[in-house]
């Protein structure tokens, strides 16, 4: 999806829309390329390792029928 971010970024620059004064761009998944963007683009860190571990644990519980009640999983992200 980095291409979509770049399309917006270049479109705003070509239309003389001031970033980040008029429009702010945010990226997901810690794309390394955004650290080089000028002006800067905020990025939301998604803890994919934590999601993976939780998914495996939940799958094991379902297979082994060890969970008695339903759970909802929420995990916070962080803006960098």
Q: If you write DSSP's letter for every residue of 54-66 in order, what string do you get? A: HHHHHHHHHHHT-
Tell me the pLDDT tens digit for each residue of 22-69.
Answer: 888 777 776 777 777 777 777 888 888 888 999 999 999 999 999 888
Q: What pTM was estimated for this model as a whole?
A: 0.53
**Choice between 10 and 53, residue whose per-residue pLDDT is larger:** 53
Could you give the C-alpha distances from 73 to 29, 32, 34, 56, in angstroms and in order?
19, 27, 29, 13
Q: Is the dihedral of CA 62, 68, 69, 72 positive or negative?
A: negative
14 — pLDDT class (breaks 50, 70, 90): confident
Beta strands in the chain (DSSP E): 26-28, 42-45, 78-79
Determine the pLDDT at residue 30: 66
21 pLDDT more than 80: yes
């Amino acid at each position: 999806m980095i291409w979509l971010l770049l399309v917006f970024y270049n479109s705003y620059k070509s239309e003389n829309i001031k970033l980040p004064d008029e429009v702010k761009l945010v990226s997901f998944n810690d794309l390394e390329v955004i650290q080089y963007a000028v002006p800067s683009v905020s990025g939301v860190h998604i803890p994919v390792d934590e999601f993976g571990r939780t998914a495996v644990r939940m799958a094991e519980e379902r297979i082994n029928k060890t969970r008695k009640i339903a759970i909802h999983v929420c995990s916070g992200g962080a803006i960098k």
